[in-house]
Structures are given as structure tokens and as C-alpha cells.
Amino acid sequence: MGKNIVIGVCGSIAAYKSVEIVREFKKRKWCVQVVMTADSMQFITPLTLSTLAGRPVYSDMFNPDNFEEDHISLSEFADVMLIAPATANIIGKIAGGICDDLLTCAVCAFTGPVVLAPAMNDNMWKNRIVRANVEKLKEFGYHFVSPEKGELASGKEGVGRLAEIETIVQFVEKL
């Protein structure tokens, strides 16, 4: 039987792949709760992910229709958190302890395993600040499913493409 997973979706062209990630966890009988950043909604709609997850998507830190502290309830719900795609922005925020949206607050409040699956341009992935943030988070116990080499959104080849869906799902299952 599956577990409870919070899947964070960030503003990357790879956000469309989160649809397949949600589907794979649902096939495995996991209970999936999706949290979308504002930027991710420029790439994919909450309706798509809520339909597949079978639950409303969370995105707003200050939801007037809900009197719960969503970041706390999300952190208590999850057995594991997965952020896919994880952008340089979210990696930097988490590494810096910045909690300025629902996803970063939920991650900060969560005491279980957090997995990040980065997706970004290869120059961004190689950037020394991004690399330092990744290493810092690894030292703190965060887990990474490294991006792969392949065609990027720019049409150029490089390392920065989101890992294969099955690779990400299997990594999380092993935790």
C-alpha cells in the first residue's frame, strides 16, 4: 500500500512532466497532494493536477476558504515531499531558509525526507551558487535526483533536463 506524498511543482518548462509523476504515484496507490508555486501555473493548470491527484491543488499561502494552516497540515500529511521540477529558485530559497510561499513554508515545517528533482538550463545547473546550494542541502539531508543530459527547452544539449519519471518515482519509493 502506498504512502502520502506532497508533490511540489515549480515554474519550469518541465512542469508538464509533473502530470506523469502524479499519475505514477496514483497507480502505485499513493495518496498525492500537489502544491504549485505561482510560476508553475504559467506552465500547467491546477485543474489538470487536481483531476489526476483526486484532491484540490494547494497554491495560496493565504486561502480565505480554509482556516487551517496549510503549510503545517501539509507537513503533517506527508510521509515524503517531492519537488519536481525543482528550479534554481526553489533550491536557493530552501537553502537560504526563505519561506515566502506555501511550498517553501511546508518544506521548512516538514521533518521527513525531501526529494528534489532539478530541471533547468545547463548553465544554471553548473552555476557555482546553485551547486553550492545543492551541496548545502545534501549536507542537511535533502535528497536529489540529478538532472540528466539531453535536449533542453532551448533546443541545445546539456545537463539540466528533468530525470526520467520512472527514475524519480523509484528513488522516492526506495526512501
pLDDT tens readout for residues 113-165: 999 999 999 999 999 999 999 999 999 999 999 999 988 787 888 888 999 99
Q: Determine phi and psi for 160, rounding to 5 degrees.
A: 160, -10
What pLDDT digit, counting tens, does each position of 76-104 carry?
A: 788 999 999 999 999 999 999 999 999 99
> What pLDDT was estimated at residue 151?
81
Task: Find out if CATH 3.40.50.1950 is the number for domain 4-174.
Answer: yes
Cell numbers standing for residue 76: 503533517
What pairs with residue 35 in β-bridges?
8, 58
Q: Look at 40 and 2; give whichever has higher pLDDT.
A: 40
What is the H or E stretch that residue 132 is in? Answer: helix 128-139
> What pLDDT was estimated at residue 152?
79
Cell numbers standing for residue 166: 520512472
pLDDT for residue 64 is more than 70: no
The answer to whether the predicted template modeling score (pTM) of the entire model surpasses 0.85 is yes
Best CA proximity match to 95, nearest among 118, 79, 72: 118
What pLDDT digit, counting tens, does each position of 30-63 carry?
A: 999 999 999 999 999 999 999 999 999 988 776 6
Neighbours of 62 (CB within 10 A): 7
Cα–Cα distance, 156 to 49 (Å, whole number): 29
> What pLDDT was estimated at residue 70?
62
In which band, very low, low, confident or very high, does the pLDDT at 66 lie, cut at 50, 70 and 90? low
> What pLDDT was estimated at residue 154?
79
Best CA proximity match to 175, nearest among 86, 72, 34, 81: 81
Neighbours of 58 (CB within 10 A): 23
In which band, very low, low, confident or very high, does the pLDDT at 67 lie, cut at 50, 70 and 90? very low
> What pLDDT was estimated at residue 76?
79
Sheet containing strand 80-86, edge to edge, reads: 31-36, 4-9, 80-86, 114-118, 143-144
pLDDT for residue 1 is more than 90: no
Cα–Cα distance, 124 to 42 (Å, whole number): 20
Q: Are the CB atoms for 47 and 22 separated by under 8 Å? A: no
b/e 19-36 (16+ beta carbons within 10 angstroms → b): bebbebbbeeebbbbbbb
pLDDT for residue 28 is more than 90: yes
Best CA proximity match to 115, nearest among 86, 151, 73: 86
